[in-house]
Amino acid sequence: MFLPTTLEEVKRMGWDALDVILVSGDSYIDSPYIGAAVIGKLLARAGYRVGIIAQPDVSGTDDIGRLGRPRLFWGVTAGSVDSMVANYTALKKKRRSDDYTPGGVNNRRPDRATIVYTNLIRRYTRQAKRCPPGHTESPQISQASALDPGVPNNPPPILLGGIEASLRRVAHYDYWDDALRRSVLFDAKADYLLYGMAEQAVLELAACLRDGRDPHDLRGLCYIAKEKRTGYLELPSYETVARDKQAFIEMFHTFYQNNDPLRGQGLCQKHGDRWLVQNPPAATETQAELDAVYALDFERAQHPYYEAQGPVRALDTIGFSIPTHRGCYGECNFCAIAVHEGRTVRWRSPESILAEAEALTRHPGFKGYIHDLGGPTANMYGFECEVKLSRGACSHKRCLYPAICPLLKIDHQPQIDLLRQVRRIPGVKKVFVASGIRYDMILCDRAHGDDYLRQVVAHHVSGQMKVAPEHTEEPVLAVMGKPGTGSLLEFKRRFDQLSQQVGRQQFLTYYLIAAHPGCSEYDMQRVKQFASQKLKIHPEQVQVFTPTPSTYATLMYYTETDPFSGEALFVEKDPRRKERQKTIVTDRPPRISPSGKGRP
Ligand code: SF4
């Protein structure tokens, strides 16, 4: 069942008011991959009356006011992707397409959507407060005000969530401003922010607001306070880090290290004469909680109100895919998953995944293909480090870099079993593993690594398998926190061998990054050489590095310093030279025609 998006739908449900209104930068796609849909349906299952306004028109308040005001709170998210990443390329050019917008044209998600939507709600609230029900200038708002619970001097609070808010929760470098920005809570002037995967926290917050209890102690919550909070670690102030890059490096280390649900402490950061308070991280979801999320009755379709405006391309990939787990301990320095989802992997039970796969076969649009069965890293399903589970992730070392930690007992058997069971379900023709695979983990698992790869090669790829070495030069790989080329070449050898054994002509596709901190044009020439000599390919999947908020690589980009050694680091900042780093690898040499045309 879809959540209501219009006044007529609210009335059809027999509701006289909404408890929660969610505002999202994505279209309303009712899918377990879309945060607003997950949060909305979880709240609805807990008994709250929830409506969704997706991609509101920001030119006026009619659209944001079309459902009236909620009784408990507004929830605001920029959507599945940070709005600046969604709207601009790595070279800061405007993107034309958006996979989460009806029709695919990038014309509905404003820059800094979290801030824009919050301002819009405040404007609407002020406007609705001035005009009694039935007397607003807009007929749409006038109608919706009939649903307004009417607490004129106490407007419902605004809660921020989603990846944009989560990664911008403390002072952070913003590539598009080329400057440090304050916590988004200050810029948006919202009341609360829930960071990370906030399903359980949002239920707790809703219960507090419903019961009139103070929510300020909830784990996973950020808020603004007049005073510093006793017992919390103090980060250098926004003003200090904005003028002192070394202080920003120290701030980021403290921020990153206090992201663990078992070890993380509360943090405070002064902004002007007020404080950003970040409570310790919420506990990771239990398996029962995860299973309950994915047992919700998602339609796996765009809501008809938005479908009428055009299809969304995102459904081509997420429509019939199944998430098996969350979190990643890969900690590649350019990736934000460790900060947003956490370093602890937690996974769904096989029963829950099989039930979802069986439900897919009954969906009218299902053609027999599960497009992905995976998570942030496909082969992290079903095992975790016991030390991490009992004491939290180590602060002084990483699980996979520079070498795989011996305490991480890698075991591909649970995933082998899962893949086997899913592909046996009647109605399932093929199950793809499209999520990235850590090949160093496969090589490390002497008991089951080869069997896992054999299963994947024989049943779960179609012609091409994507791998993400990201680079081939050891100094750049070290800056990225990625494994060396030795494991890549060994993996390629086994992949080719197994493909041959199962009688399939299959290839590896390599994802690479250009202009990452520490990478020069010379390094990219070496990548090209390595690709043609050792991998026997001409790479096409090369992306210019984007400094997204709250990653170590972004910290390196801004400070031009290796934050672990303190040494100066080369960083390419000129857009043309960044592009050249990419084209060094992707440009094919000019064809020489028999007449000699094209010869330099
Ligand atoms: S003991 Fe090893 S695998 Fe476990 S959290 Fe620490 S670094 Fe990671």
Q: What is the mean pLDDT of residues 179-194?
A: 98
CB 405 within 8 A of CB 353: no
Q: Average pLDDT of the chain?
A: 93
485 C-alpha vs ligand 1 centroid, how far in Å? Answer: 23
Whether the per-residue pLDDT at 596 is higher than 50: the answer is no
Q: Is residue 41 within 6 Å of ligand 1 at its C-beta?
A: no
Question: What's the confidence (pLDDT) of residue 590?
Answer: 57
Give, in order, the Cα–Cα distances in Å from 235 to each of 217, 222, 275, 394.
Answer: 19, 14, 10, 21
Q: What is the mean pLDDT of residues 47-74?
A: 97
Ligand 1, atom nearest to 405 Cα: 2
Q: How far apart are CA 319 and CA 107, in angstroms?
A: 23
160 C-alpha vs ligand 1 centroid, how far in Å? Answer: 32
**Cα–Cα–Cα angle for 498, 503, 505, nearest 5°?**
85
Q: Is residue 389 within 6 Å of ligand 1 at its C-beta?
A: no
Which helix (H) or strand (E) segment holds residue 576: the answer is helix 575-586
* Confidence band for 351, pLDDT divided at 50, 70 and 90: very high
Gyration radius of the chain's alpha carbons: 25
* Ligand 1 pocket mutation pick from 262, 398, 407, 411 by most atoms within 8 angstroms of CB: 407
Q: What is the mean pLDDT of residues 227-234?
A: 97
Structure tokens at 357: 């796969």
Ligand 1, atom nearest to 398 Cα: 7
Beta strands at 369-370 and 430-431: parallel, antiparallel or unpaired? parallel
Q: What pTM, to 2 d.p., does this model score?
A: 0.93
Q: Is residue 388 within 6 Å of ligand 1 at its C-beta?
A: yes
Q: Is residue 407 within 6 Å of ligand 1 at its C-beta?
A: yes
502 C-alpha vs ligand 1 centroid, how far in Å? Answer: 36
Ligand 1, atom nearest to 393 Cα: 5
Q: Is residue 394 within 6 Å of ligand 1 at its C-beta?
A: yes
Q: Is residue 397 within 6 Å of ligand 1 at its C-beta?
A: yes
Q: Is residue 262 within 6 Å of ligand 1 at its C-beta?
A: no
Question: What's the confidence (pLDDT) of residue 154?
Answer: 79
pLDDT digits (tens, 9 = 90+) for 104-141: 999 999 999 999 999 999 999 998 776 544 444 444 44
466 C-alpha vs ligand 1 centroid, how far in Å? Answer: 27
Task: Please state the length of the chain.
Answer: 600
More confident residue, 142 or 431: 431
pLDDT digits (tens, 9 = 90+) for 459-477: 999 888 989 999 999 999 9
pLDDT digits (tens, 9 = 90+) for 355-406: 999 999 999 999 999 999 999 999 999 999 999 999 999 998 999 999 999 9
Whether the per-residue pLDDT at 597 is higher than 50: the answer is no
Quote the strand ranges of 71-174, DSSP E. 73-77, 158-161, 172-174
* Ligand 1 pocket mutation pick from 343, 383, 394, 404 by most atoms within 8 angstroms of CB: 394
Identity (one letter) of the amino acid at 210?
A: R
Question: What's the confidence (pLDDT) of residue 128?
Answer: 78
pLDDT digits (tens, 9 = 90+) for 506-550: 999 999 999 999 999 999 999 999 999 999 999 989 999 999 999
* Ligand 1 pocket mutation pick from 405, 410, 444, 445 by most atoms within 8 angstroms of CB: 405
* Confidence band for 570, pLDDT divided at 50, 70 and 90: very high
pLDDT digits (tens, 9 = 90+) for 240-263: 999 999 999 999 999 999 999 999
Question: What's the confidence (pLDDT) of residue 584?
Answer: 96
Ligand 1, atom nearest to 329 Cα: 8
CB 182 within 8 A of CB 99: no
The closest residue, in CA terms, to atom 7 on ligand 1 is 399
> Cα-flanking dihedrals φ and ψ of residue 42, to 5°?
-65, -45
Question: What's the confidence (pLDDT) of residue 443?
Answer: 97
Whether the per-residue pLDDT at 91 is higher than 80: the answer is yes
388 C-alpha vs ligand 1 centroid, how far in Å? Answer: 6
Q: What is the DSSP string of 386-430?
A: HHHHHH-S-SSS-SSSSS--TTS----HHHHHHHHHHHTSTT--E
Q: What is the mean pLDDT of residues 192-214?
A: 97
CB 71 within 8 A of CB 48: no
Tokens 């592009």 correspond to what residue? 579
393 C-alpha vs ligand 1 centroid, how far in Å? Answer: 6
**Cα–Cα–Cα angle for 58, 60, 65, nearest 5°?**
90
Question: What's the confidence (pLDDT) of residue 153?
Answer: 58
Q: Is residue 247 within 6 Å of ligand 1 at its C-beta?
A: no
Which helix (H) or strand (E) segment holds residue 452: the answer is helix 449-455
* Ligand 1 pocket mutation pick from 263, 284, 385 by most atoms within 8 angstroms of CB: 385
Q: What is the mean pLDDT of residues 312-325?
A: 97
Q: How far apart are CA 326 and CA 284, in angstroms?
A: 10
